[in-house]
Structure 1
């Protein structure tokens, strides 16, 4: 360097406006959209609306004043700026088009100032979660948890669990882009100080992978579940939920449905669908008509390198959230969430053989008609059951859901009190047998879907309720499978299911024995009233003590007359019976 030369004064270039992620993490921002930092760390780059200063407001007023020409007359054409045009375009593209949306906006007090401000061409319309007049704002909103998935397990261990998830869970509930997930996870572990925005998804995937893994580490799985829980609970109250929050809640709902109480799974499914609604994912994004009701929380689809949240992902997240909430609500006897203004189209049918999400959603569409608030005719239910039996999925998880849906239709038919015909019973038993076989395969493969215990339990109850020789014949297989499930998984719930069914079967047998005693008493009473009939019967006894009526012996030892019924009806030694007829 030439010391004699005058040194040039180097001025530090400062960005006037930094994006919100760089502000929160105190990183250098170049002011672009998306900025270099967000592209590098795969952040969702967005800018907070700047607060208008008095100087800027004065300049805007001057621009909006009518211009005065040389002659001193005022021109009627005001000078507009780009911001005013953008506001007008915003008001046009976000105008509600349905009556339901207009009613929702009329009911919402927080929306009225926005619509009124748009009419006045106001630039400040309380976006980004700011709702003036909602409350006093005494406390600040909570921020995301600082927990990190990198504290729990290494990238290699996470990848093993993610592979298990991709093999068993993702083909049925495919709402994640696995290729993008692997790439984002690799960057996450390479930079442990990066954002934990995706950690709820990473933890949820790993927890489900551990649940379906034969070498599960329960202590590690518990830490993963707790980490995802803390992150999601804080994200549920932040101003702008993201796609990662919606996916994380769906993963948590699946995990709780497999492992926890009905109440916990139902609550998680409700939160998942509420997150989806808050983001506006239930409305078709292609129309560009997002209601102002969701203006403060709606999240636009991110663009840029590394983002795979496209329209198809949005569609699948919505439908799976709706599916889980509806099914869990129906099975638990709770109210499901009904979203107004729903216009999201069905997801595309993938040509790949390992993607069965579309088939699961088609099965769900058939079950939507079973709304408890609807009076469904018996003919419609019978047609739905017939259509249901025509499906042949070839996937155990789908077959199990198919059987559960058949049981629901049968219970609705029984509730009508019209009597269930023989064809319906045959359909129900056939679909129940499919469910038993699928459940048995899941037990052998150690796949703890919630249906594994639910299908044989519900099927046994229905068989006992039908109470025909054809239905009782299948009780031994279902109760044996329940016992096998309890022995394999060894959980309190599985043992409780087997003990409950065993008690119900014994009570059913006891009732039949009491009915047989009553019938025998009726026969003896009739014989005492007619001694001549008793004398004729004694004369017709053979030397071996067997009564004859011509050439055909009379069967007095079977009061029910069910000579072809298997041991299950008349046997009282259940342990000997089950060991004799155990399923292979």
Structure 2
């Protein structure tokens, strides 16, 4: 009996050793952990990471059955004479398509309608032009049993080099978990209330797991580094060397994620955090480029579209994840906020920088709802953005609409300084647009612009005192001073002193090169404006002096050169003139005047040309 037991154990052990998976997921390969081959695997499920494979796995029985079901439906439609119905239209009627649907619209709603929705129309044209999607639609037409493409975009190129993998840099090499939590708390207090596109509870939980097991994948490190870098930027005790390492780590991870086949929601969040950081600290070109990439990553994931039927167009089938019926409302709102803030930053940076913004085709993402929390102002920020959409340089906007937008903008009364600063910048943009039309700006518009500029100055002072280095802190007083000089009226010039004072305060407090350059530029512009006014005053003063020297010469000339019978002697009671008396050959006896004239000086200074011209 003991022998039977001893014989069974090695057999079971040998069977257990043979149970190996043929293909491991990419996260398990990176962290060199055992993978069970599931989708998702047990390790990724445990640590809440996205599970994906470098090569497409074999279709499961459920997928094969679904394909056979689609084929049977297609044959039935063909037998009934429905030859005009394409395979992708038949697939779009299915409640679930597992990523192989060809159109992101409901065929039942568009049946008999020659004018489909703009979203469906734009996707149709995108698919018609795409050589990558044509083989897939061709396979559907031929009723292929396996219409999924083998490999990623076959025929795209020769594939001489392998696709890049994610960077191996880790946030664990830079700072400890306790230090990261301190920086994250600063981020949650200063940045998150305005740009609230992160789930802070999930962020803290993921960070906790990240430091508990340093060998897990670093896919989420771009988000952790971006949050810590912004927290360091707004921290009074900022460590620039540490912040630089955080920025470089996030940059290297994001640059590889921008070229991988399947970007994740963490990649979109990381690019958005990098855009905010560069808008606060770097050149306009760097911020503009990053904002374009952020919006393109959101587009690649399909965040700009939401479908009620849960279908995904073939255009985004390789990158976007079809909406799940069990997707929580909180996650849906998070995705909406990521897309709208990416769109907001790209539009505002493009307007300020004078570059083109990204226009996405088939955009159908609803505006995110307002959060119930008191410190959530993201919906207010998006409401400002909706006003600014009328300022597209490619649109001809009437002045009445611009004035109405300015009036609507003035009615907002924000309690947070960052929103007040954005409100002022938007008012300056509207004024510049009105001035560009070449029309005279009415007094009401000027008063509103000055009022909103004054609000921005007060908010800038508070940001300087509390060490909040928003980009508006330097931008608002600089642009406000320029607009005051452009208005050039006593009502505007009286505020130049306060605007320059705030700009100088920012330059002294932060002590950066750009803040000093902004102050020096404004100082030069004000000096040039003063010089021009002094030149105008000198011209007027010279004209006034010439008129004063002209009047006494004219009176003296009338005394010397008199026509017969035109002058009378006030002392002659009989009314006879000196001309008639014949004294001095008809000229006035200048010796009889109370103040005799020095003839040399008189002749030298007298301008006779004035009497004839």
TM range (shorter): 0.7 to 0.9
Q: Deviations over 1:461-483 (max 9, x none)?
A: 00011011110110000001111
Counterpart residue number, 2:264 = 242
For 2:329 and 2:207, locate their aligned partners in 1 and report how far apart those are by CA, in whole Å. 13
Query: Contact (CA 8 Å) 1:141, 1:238: kept in 2 or not?
Result: yes
Q: Tell me the residue number matched to 1:403.
A: 424
Question: What is the CA RMSD across the aligned residues, in angstroms?
Answer: 2.8
Give the Cα–Cα distance (whole angstroms) in 2 for the partners of residues 177 and 303 of structure 1: 20
Cα distance change, pair 326–529 in 1 and its aligned pair in 2 (3 A): same
Task: Tell me which residue corresponds to 2:461.
Answer: 440
Q: Which residue of 2 aligns with 1:555?
A: none
Deviation string 1:91-133 (CA, Å, 9 cap, x unpaired) is 8854243111111111111111111112223354455971111
Residues 1:135 and 2:175 aligned together = no
Report the structure number with the largest CA radius of gyration: 2
SS at the partner of 1:530?
helix
Verify: 1:185 aligned to 2:192, yes or no.
no
Q: Matches of 1:285 and 1:215 in 2, distance apart? A: 46
**Whole-Å Cα distance in 2 between the matches of residues 85 and 104 of structure 1?**
19
1:423–1:112 CA distance, 2 compared to 1 (3 A): same
8 A Cα contact 1:302 1:309, kept in partner: no
CA contact (8 A) 2:311 2:322 kept: no
Rounded to whole Å, the distance in 2 between the matches of 1:347 and 1:321 is 13
| Partner of residue 545, structure 1 | none
CA contact (8 A) 2:232 2:243 kept: yes
Aligned counterparts, 1:256-271, within 5 A: 256-271=278-293
Determine the C-alpha separation between the residues in 2 that align with 1:227 and 1:332: 27
Say which SS state the counterpart of residue 181 (structure 1) adopts: helix
Q: The residue matched to 1:133 in structure 2 has which SS?
A: coil
Which of 339, 342, 349 matches 2:370?
349
1:526 aligns with 2:533: no
Counterpart in the other structure of 2:237: 215
Report whether the alignment pairs 1:371 with 2:392: yes
Q: Do the aligned partners of 2:310 and 2:325 also contact (CA within 8 Å) in 1?
A: no
Partner in structure 2 of residue 50 of structure 1: 57
More deviation in 349-358 or 427-436?
349-358
Equivalence for 2:301: 279
Aligned to 2:35: 29
Q: C-alpha displacement at 1:350, in angstroms?
A: 1.1
Cα deviations by residue, 1:508-533 (Å, 9 ceiling, x for unpaired): 11111111110111112223333278
Q: 1:389 to 1:379 in 2, by over 3 A?
A: same
Classify the secondary structure of the residue corresponding to 2:218: coil
Correspondent of 1:334 among 348, 351, 355: 355
Question: Is 1:122 aligned to 2:144, yes or no?
Answer: yes
CA distance in 2, matches of 1:279, 1:195: 21
Query: What is the SS of the residue equivalent to 2:7?
Result: coil
1:290 alignment partner, one of 312, 319, 326: 312
Question: Alpha carbons of 1:129 and 1:392: their partners in 2 closer, same or farther (altered >3 Å)?
Answer: farther
CA contact under 8 A between 1:129 and 1:297: conserved in structure 2? no
Residues in 2 aligned to 1:345 and 1:86: alpha-carbon distance in whole angstroms:
22
Which residue in the other structure is 2:538 paired with? Answer: 517
Alignment of 1:452 onto 2:458: no
The alignment's TM-score, normalised by the length of structure 2, stands at 0.78
CA contact (8 A) 1:177 1:308 kept: no
Once the 2 structures are TM-superposed, how far is the Cα of residue 221 of structure 1 from its aligned partner?
A: 0.2
Equivalent position of 1:503 in the other structure? 524
TM-score (norm 1): 0.82
Matched, 1:362 2:368: no
- Pairing of 1:461-472 with structure 2 (within 5 A): 461-472=482-493
Aligned residues: 509
The verdict on how the C-alpha distance between 1:218 and 1:303 changes in structure 2, with shifts beyond 3 A counting, is: farther
Aligned residue among 488, 495, 498 for 1:474: 495
Task: Give the secondary-structure state (helix, strand or coil) at the position aligned to 1:310.
Answer: helix
Q: C-alpha separation between the residues in 1 aligned to 2:467 and 2:283?
A: 20
User: Aligned to 1:452, what secondary structure does the other structure show?
Assistant: helix
- 8 Å CA contact 1:240, 1:299 repeated in 2: no
Alignment of 1:491 onto 2:512: yes
- CA distance in 1 between counterparts of 2:23 and 2:264 reads 23
Measured in 2, the distance between the counterparts of 1:94 and 1:85 equals 7
TM-aligned CA distance change 1:193 to 1:20, over 3 Å: closer
- In structure 1, the partner of 2:340 is 319
Given that 1:246 and 1:272 are in contact with CA atoms closer than 8 Å, whether structure 2 keeps it comes out as yes
What 5-or-longer segments of structure 2 have no aligned partner?
73-89, 106-119, 557-613
The 1:214/1:190 distance shift into structure 2, 3 A limit, reads: same
1:528-577 C-alpha deviation (Å, 9 max, x unpaired): 33327899xxxxxxxxxxxxxxxxxxxxxxxxxxxxxxxxxxxxxxxxxx
Alpha carbons of structure 1 residues 99 and 86: separation in structure 2 relative to 1, 3 Å: closer
Matches of 1:233 and 1:123, distance apart in 2: 37
Partner of 1:413: 434
After superposition, what is the alpha-carbon deviation per residue over 1:371-399, rounded to whole angstroms, capped at 9, x for unaligned?
A: 01011111110000000000011110000
* Cα distance between partner residues in 2 of 1:86 and 1:345: 22
How far apart in 2 are the matches of 1:436 and 1:268? 29
- Deviation per CA, 1:229-277: give whole Å up to 9, x if none: 0000011000000000000000000000000000000010000001011
Of 142, 147, 170, which residue of structure 1 is paired with 2:192? 170
SS in 2 for 1:145: coil
Distance in 1 (CA, whole Å) between partners of 2:396 and 2:336 is 30
